[in-house]
Amino acid sequence: MNMNEIKIFSPATVANVACGFDVLGFCLDSVGDEMVIRKVDKKGVKITKIEGFDLPFESQLNVAGVSALAMYDAVKPDFGFEIEIHKNIKPGSGIGSSAASAVGSVFGMNELLGRPFSKTELTQFAIKGEALASKCEHADNLAPAVFGGFTLVKSLSPLEILQIPSPPNLYATIIYPQIEIKTSESRAILPKEVKLQDAITQWANFGSLIHSLHTDNYELMQKSLHDVIIEPYRSKLIPHYYEVKNEALNAGALGSGISGSGPSVFSLCEGIKAANNVRDAIEKVYSKTGIEFDIYVSRINTEGIKVL
Amino acid sequence: MNMNEIKIFSPATVANVACGFDVLGFCLDSVGDEMVIRKVDKKGVKITKIEGFDLPFESQLNVAGVSALAMYDAVKPDFGFEIEIHKNIKPGSGIGSSAASAVGSVFGMNELLGRPFSKTELTQFAIKGEALASKCEHADNLAPAVFGGFTLVKSLSPLEILQIPSPPNLYATIIYPQIEIKTSESRAILPKEVKLQDAITQWANFGSLIHSLHTDNYELMQKSLHDVIIEPYRSKLIPHYYEVKNEALNAGALGSGISGSGPSVFSLCEGIKAANNVRDAIEKVYSKTGIEFDIYVSRINTEGIKVL
- The rounded distance, in Å, linking the Cα atoms of B100 and B106 is 10
Does residue B193 sit at the A interface (CB-CB below 8 Å)? yes
> What confidence tens digit (pLDDT) does each residue in B153-172 have?
999 999 999 999 999 999 99
- A244 shares its domain with A159: no
- A62 shares its domain with A110: yes
Domain C-terminal end among B112, B145, B164: B164
Considering the domain boundaries, does residue B11 fall inside one? yes
Q: Which residues contact A266 (CB under 8 A, 6 or more apart)?
A: A14, A17, A172, A173, A174, A256, A257, A258, A259
Percentage above 70 pLDDT, chain A: 99
pLDDT of residue B280: 98
In this complex, the residue of B23, B190, B193 whose CB is nearest that of residue A207 is B23
Supply the DSSP string of A134-179, one letter for each residue: HSS---TTHHHHHH-SEEEEEEETTEEEEEEP--TTEEEEEEEE--
**Under a CB-based contact definition with an 8 Å cutoff, are residues B13 and B28 in contact?**
yes
Considering the domain boundaries, does residue B308 fall inside one? no
- A249 shares its domain with A279: yes
Residue A244 — very low, low, confident or very high, per pLDDT cuts 50/70/90?
very high
Considering the domain boundaries, does residue A307 fall inside one? no
- A16 shares its domain with A126: yes
Q: Which domain holds residue B14?
A: 5-164
ipTM of this complex prediction, to 2 decimal places: 0.95
Flag whether pLDDT at B1 surpasses 50.
no
Flag whether pLDDT at A2 surpasses 60.
no
> Chain B residue closest to A165 (CA)?
B211
Q: Which residues of A touch B20 (CB under 8 A)?
A: 203, 207
Q: Which residues of B touch A164 (CB under 8 A)?
A: 211
CATH of the domain at A13: 3.30.230.10
In this complex, the residue of B24, B164, B200 whose CB is nearest that of residue A22 is B200
The total number of structural domains that make up chain A: 2
Q: Is A180 a catalytic residue?
A: no
Work out the average pLDDT over B84-95.
94
Contact B207 A206 (CB under 8 A): yes
pLDDT of residue A1: 47
Flag whether pLDDT at A96 surpasses 90.
yes
Q: Which residues of B touch A202 (CB under 8 A)?
A: 199, 203
pLDDT of residue A3: 72
- Lowest-pLDDT choice from A82-91, A134-143, B164-173, B282-291: A134-143
Flag whether pLDDT at A259 surpasses 70.
yes
CATH of the domain at B245: 3.30.70.890
- A42 shares its domain with A96: yes
Flag whether pLDDT at B273 surpasses 90.
yes
Contact B152 A204 (CB under 8 A): yes
> Chain A residue closest to B230 (CA)?
A196
Considering the domain boundaries, does residue B306 fall inside one? no
Q: Exposed, middle or buried: residue A158 (CB in 10 Å: 0-12, 13-18, 19+)?
A: exposed
Domain C-terminal end among B115, B141, B164: B164
Which residue from A221, A226, A224, A227 is spatially nearest to A271, judged by alpha carbons? A221
Considering the domain boundaries, does residue A273 fall inside one? yes
Does residue B208 sit at the A interface (CB-CB below 8 Å)? yes
- The rounded distance, in Å, linking the Cα atoms of A308 and A292 is 31
Which residue from B85, B88, B78, B117 is spatially nearest to B104, judged by alpha carbons? B85
Supply the DSSP string of chain B, one letter for each residue: --TTEEEEEEEEEEESTGGGTTTEEEEEEEEEEEEEEEEESS-EEEEEEEESS----SGGGSHHHHHHHHHHHHH--SSEEEEEEE--SPTTSSS-HHHHHHHHHHHHHHHHTTS-S-HHHHHHHHHHHHHHHHSS---TTHHHHHH-SEEEEEEETTEEEEEEP--TTEEEEEEEE-----HHHHHHTS-SEEEHHHHHHHHHHHHHHHHHHHTT-HHHHHHH---SSSHHHHGGGSTTHHHHHHHHHHTT-SEEEE-TTSS-EEEEEESHHHHHHHHHHHHHHHHTTT--EEEEEEEB-SS-SEE-
Work out the average pLDDT over A89-102.
94
Flag whether pLDDT at B56 surpasses 90.
yes
- A235 shares its domain with A279: yes
Work out the average pLDDT over A82-92.
95
- The rounded distance, in Å, linking the Cα atoms of A165 and B181 is 42
> What confidence tens digit (pLDDT) does each residue in B104-126 have?
999 999 999 999 999 999 999 99
- B146 shares its domain with B200: no
Contact A194 B192 (CB under 8 A): no
- B220 shares its domain with B124: no
> Chain B residue closest to A22 (CA)?
B200
Considering the domain boundaries, does residue A308 fall inside one? no
> Chain A residue closest to B204 (CA)?
A154
Contact A207 B24 (CB under 8 A): yes
Flag whether pLDDT at B32 surpasses 60.
yes
Contact A23 B153 (CB under 8 A): no
Considering the domain boundaries, does residue B127 fall inside one? yes
Contact A196 B200 (CB under 8 A): no
Higher pLDDT: B184 or B219? It is: B219
- B73 shares its domain with B178: no
User: Average model confidence (pLDDT) for chain B?
Assistant: 95
DSSP one-letter code for A59:
G
Q: Which residues contact A231 (CB under 8 A, 6 or more apart)?
A: A18, A257, A258
Residue B136 — very low, low, confident or very high, per pLDDT cuts 50/70/90?
confident
Supply the DSSP string of B172-199, one letter for each residue: EEEEEE-----HHHHHHTS-SEEEHHHH
- Lowest-pLDDT choice from A195-199, B73-77, B186-190, B240-244: B186-190
- A151 shares its domain with A185: no
- A215 shares its domain with A154: no
Does residue B74 sit at the A interface (CB-CB below 8 Å)? no
Contact B155 A190 (CB under 8 A): no
Strands A44-51 and A80-86: parallel
User: What CA–CA distances, in Å, run from B140 to A189, B48, B75?
Assistant: 34, 28, 25
Does residue B25 sit at the A interface (CB-CB below 8 Å)? no
- A193 shares its domain with A285: yes
Flag whether pLDDT at B11 surpasses 90.
yes
Domain C-terminal end among A126, A147, A164: A164
Considering the domain boundaries, does residue A138 fall inside one? yes
Flag whether pLDDT at B2 surpasses 60.
no
Q: Is A183 a catalytic residue?
A: yes
Which residue from A79, A84, A75, A10 is spatially nearest to A47, judged by alpha carbons? A84
